[in-house]
Chain A
Amino acid sequence: MAKTSRRKLLKGAAASVSTLALAATPLSRAIPVQASEAIGPAPGVLARRGRNLSAALAERGAPSGGLLPATHAISVPLPTGSGTAVAAQQAAASAESSVVRMQAELKRAMEKPIAQRKWTMVIDQRKCVGCSACTVACIAENNLPPGIAYRPVLEEEIGEYPKVTRRFTPRPCMHCDEPPCVPVCPVGATYKRPDGVVVINYDRCIGCRYCIVACPYGARSFDFGEHYTDGTPGRQPYEESPALEYGKEWSRSSVEGITRKCHFCVHRLNAGMLPACVTTCIGEATYFGDLNDPESLVTELVTSGRAVRLKEELGTKPNVYYLV
């Protein structure tokens, strides 16, 4: 594993902005990426529709780096005083994109039976710049209507001028191990998959919104059937195009009047791709992987001593961690 000191990283970062040919990067990795290896079914729907760039890239065997591959060039330097987490941090912020490493780990995880995976997300709040690129990427990926954002970025201002700072908290679904949203559903429409992802059966949901009430993180949204171009001279066709969640084509009307939420992009995972918010994060502040894999980046980060979870006192056991 490449060990780059902070100083070296900073120097290298400036020089390497233009040399980040993603295809070359994996070659220097300790864990080789076998890009051509089959990992589950090809992203049939996605590729056929040619809907998004990452899908097309994955089809060609390219690791999915998102639209901004040069992400680590703008990595925020580590603040001093986080000595215990240095190794993990260096791994995360090393000259090779963490996205590439996570991509390889994703493939490894997808080879295991589903019950042996434990999908986990780690968000570094010191690196998040509050740009909301993940929010937007998610909306585009899942074709979300007005009023629904699976992953908004919460902003807080701390302190008073001149000693003031801001904290950004991207808030996906926590995919709790003890999800309060699941037992309350009267029809069992929402449930936890063996790999830890909390999903909703859109065909089963009756739209009672009890789960929205029960979620302590505000992570669920009701689809009111609205369109961004309502009230304009004409509703635009893109708003009527289907959502591709859970690997199915959901027509616009089929998801109206039900509850929707973040699903860790399981349709992308099945296609060997990282969630859209991860590959789009300009600060490389969002990590994703298998917590059951002791070698994975998320395992390193979760055990770094910096990881906390939201509302731990409720016993929900979230699978989303924050590095503070």
Chain B
Amino acid sequence: MSAKVLKSAFWGVGVALVLAGSWAWIDRWVNGEKNANYGSLVPWGLWVAAYIYFIGLSAGSFLVSSLVYVFQLKRFESIGRLALFSAVVTLILALLSISADLGHPFRAWHVLVYPNFGSPMAWMIWLYSAYFAVIMLELWFVLRYDLVVASKSAGFRGTFYRMLVFGSRDESPETLASDRQIVRILATIGVPVAIMFHGGVGALFGVISARPAWHGGLFPILFLVSALASGGALLAIVSAVFQDGLRRNRDTVLALGTLVLGLLAIDLLLQISETLVGFYGNEPARIANLKTIYGGPYWWVFWVWQLGLGTLVPLALLVLPATRKDPRVVAGACGLIAVGFLAVRLNIVIPGLADEQLAGLSEAFSSPRLTTDYVPSTIEFLFTAGLVGIGLLLFGLGEWLMPHGGEPSAGEAPAVGTEGSHVTA
């Protein structure tokens, strides 16, 4: 298949998903959450799982970008801006997902005006607001010089870039140097914020003693490691596809593959530890939770999606000598891992809730809202598919419009020459 066909297919899928999602989006605003299938026993569903998935991707991508902008690792320099861009895109998807899930999204400002800082959720919201501001600013400073250069081009592109530079015209090396300084400061602020807010997302679940499946000190750590693994994996596939990346980022993709392999191994270790301790402890609620995951109606989400396609297959591809040196295979394996983490998130949120708090609760009063059997509704699926579509379109637009910067081409040792040479798009 030619690159052109692939590209059209990419845009086609993106547009189709967004169109399907718009129907769900409209339904959500017209009918509220009537057509969502969660209820009062399983109060969080697909949209919350998608939210923690996307926000994990964002935190993970951002932390990888900090390898470049804080820790100055040359190896990843060529994908620094892409990592930041991915962090912004996935954060937007996360916020869209959770805004649909809130009963009163237009009251979200209550969290800023009446915050209860005893609540992990309030912390999370404050911290990701700060994080959003930091990464937007950082991305702008990373791109500013290239945007200024590009804003001289004629036609639509020129106009577009002129809008984005907000009046900045300065191309002097001093300003470029000060940009880099600012980026470094912002990135350094961003790292603890990202760690706190994503650890905070883990804490949001971990503090709930009413849900033994979540309750414990491991959750914040597990969330961070999962974020890094999934974010790194997303970056590997994106940097292989984005702007002719397979040629330009060959070695970086391989390096990302190794990084992800290590992170996935740690993640696996933590998950195995949780599972074994859970089984051995024989606490009824934990056992019920594990049984729901492994043998419930969604057994395949764990065995096929999370463990098979999301863990074992990519692990093999990243380890076997025959495949681990091929950037296409590595990128593909990382793609599987990135998608597999959605199953991880689903298996945290839904089975953790799908257990009666008191025996007989689901039968005491007949209502589809008072049951532990949760299957996302069509509207929920379409909405989330629409978010994926928005993500595809944003990445597509980014690949089309983001100035390439001066990354070296394939085969060359990365890093040299990145400092000064800037090519227009």
A residues touching B (Cβ–Cβ < 8 Å)? 135, 146-149, 152-156, 169, 171, 180, 183-189, 204-210, 212-218, 220-226, 256-259, 310, 314
Given contacts A155-B360, A184-B121, whether A209 and B210 have CB atoms under 8 Å apart is: no
Over the window 122-142 of chain B, the binary record of Cβ atoms lying under 8 Å from chain A Cβ atoms (1 yes, 0 no) is: 100100000000000000000
Q: Indicate which residue in B104, B114, B118 contacts A207 across the interface (CB closer than 8 Å).
A: B104
Q: Are B33 and A186 in contact (CB under 8 A)?
A: no
Q: Are A257 and B369 in contact (CB under 8 A)?
A: no
Q: Indicate which residue in A154, A180, A189 contacts B360 across the interface (CB closer than 8 Å).
A: A154
Q: Indicate which residue in B101, B116, B210 contacts A188 across the interface (CB closer than 8 Å).
A: B116
**Interface assignment of B39: CB less than 8 Å from any CB of chain A:** yes
Interface positions, chain B 190-220, Cβ under 8 Å from A, are 204, 207-211
Q: Are A186 and B44 in contact (CB under 8 A)?
A: no
Measured between beta carbons, the chain B residues less than 8 angstroms from A186 are 111, 115-116, 119, 121-122, 125
9 tightest A-B CB contacts, nearest first: A207-B103, A257-B103, A147-B369, A152-B364, A154-B360, A216-B210, A186-B122, A218-B357, A186-B121
**Interface assignment of B418: CB less than 8 Å from any CB of chain A:** no
Main SS of the interface on chain B?
loop
Measured between beta carbons, the chain A residues less than 8 angstroms from B31 are 225
Interface positions, chain B 78-112, Cβ under 8 Å from A, are 101-105, 107-108, 110-111
Given contacts A206-B104, A206-B108, A217-B358, whether A149 and B365 have CB atoms under 8 Å apart is: yes
B369 → chain A closest CB, angstroms: 3
Over the window 344-360 of chain B, the binary record of Cβ atoms lying under 8 Å from chain A Cβ atoms (1 yes, 0 no) is: 00000000010011111
Q: Are B369 and A221 in contact (CB under 8 A)?
A: yes
A190 closest partner in B (C-beta): B116
A15 → chain B closest CB, angstroms: 36
Q: Are A208 and B103 in contact (CB under 8 A)?
A: yes
Over the window 33-59 of chain B, the binary record of Cβ atoms lying under 8 Å from chain A Cβ atoms (1 yes, 0 no) is: 110100111011000000000000000
**Interface assignment of B177: CB less than 8 Å from any CB of chain A:** no
Given contacts A207-B104, A226-B34, whether A212 and B40 have CB atoms under 8 Å apart is: yes
Measured between beta carbons, the chain A residues less than 8 angstroms from B359 are 154, 156
A237 → chain B closest CB, angstroms: 20
Measured between beta carbons, the chain B residues less than 8 angstroms from A147 are 39-40, 367-370
B205 closest partner in A (C-beta): A213
**Interface assignment of B363: CB less than 8 Å from any CB of chain A:** yes
State in angstroms the CA–CA spacing of A225 and B28 once bound together.
Answer: 12
Q: Are A171 and B364 in contact (CB under 8 A)?
A: yes
Main SS of the interface on chain A?
loop
Measured between beta carbons, the chain A residues less than 8 angstroms from B363 are 154-155
Q: Indicate which residue in A155, A171, A214, A224 contacts B33 across the interface (CB closer than 8 Å).
A: A224
Measured between beta carbons, the chain A residues less than 8 angstroms from B125 are 186
State in angstroms the CA–CA spacing of A188 and B210 once bound together.
Answer: 20
Q: Indicate which residue in A146, A188, A213, A256 contacts B367 across the interface (CB closer than 8 Å).
A: A146
**Interface assignment of B406: CB less than 8 Å from any CB of chain A:** no
Measured between beta carbons, the chain A residues less than 8 angstroms from B358 are 154, 169, 171, 217-218, 310
Q: Are B34 and A214 in contact (CB under 8 A)?
A: no
B204 closest partner in A (C-beta): A210
B25 → chain A closest CB, angstroms: 16
**Interface assignment of B408: CB less than 8 Å from any CB of chain A:** no
**Interface assignment of B361: CB less than 8 Å from any CB of chain A:** yes
Q: Are A216 and B102 in contact (CB under 8 A)?
A: no
Measured between beta carbons, the chain A residues less than 8 angstroms from B116 are 183, 185-188
Measured between beta carbons, the chain B residues less than 8 angstroms from A310 are 358
State in angstroms the CA–CA spacing of A146 and B370 once bound together.
Answer: 10
A221 closest partner in B (C-beta): B40
B360 closest partner in A (C-beta): A154
Measured between beta carbons, the chain B residues less than 8 angstroms from A225 are 31-34
Can you list 21 pairs linking A and B with CB atoms under 8 Å apart? Answer: A147-B40, A152-B365, A154-B358, A156-B359, A171-B364, A183-B119, A184-B119, A186-B115, A186-B125, A187-B111, A187-B114, A204-B107, A206-B108, A213-B210, A218-B361, A224-B34, A224-B39, A224-B369, A225-B33, A256-B103, A257-B33
Q: Are A218 and B353 in contact (CB under 8 A)?
A: no
State in angstroms the CA–CA spacing of A169 and B188 once bound together.
Answer: 55
Q: Are B210 and A215 in contact (CB under 8 A)?
A: yes
State in angstroms the CA–CA spacing of A225 and B36 once bound together.
Answer: 12
Measured between beta carbons, the chain B residues less than 8 angstroms from A208 are 101-103, 121
Measured between beta carbons, the chain A residues less than 8 angstroms from B367 are 146-147, 149
A178 → chain B closest CB, angstroms: 11
Q: Are A204 and B110 in contact (CB under 8 A)?
A: yes
**Interface assignment of B120: CB less than 8 Å from any CB of chain A:** yes
Measured between beta carbons, the chain A residues less than 8 angstroms from B204 are 210
B122 → chain A closest CB, angstroms: 4
Given contacts A154-B359, A169-B360, A171-B364, whether A206 and B103 have CB atoms under 8 Å apart is: yes
State in angstroms the CA–CA spacing of A212 and B45 once bound together.
Answer: 13
Given contacts A153-B364, A213-B353, A258-B104, whether A204 and B32 have CB atoms under 8 Å apart is: no
Measured between beta carbons, the chain A residues less than 8 angstroms from B105 are 206
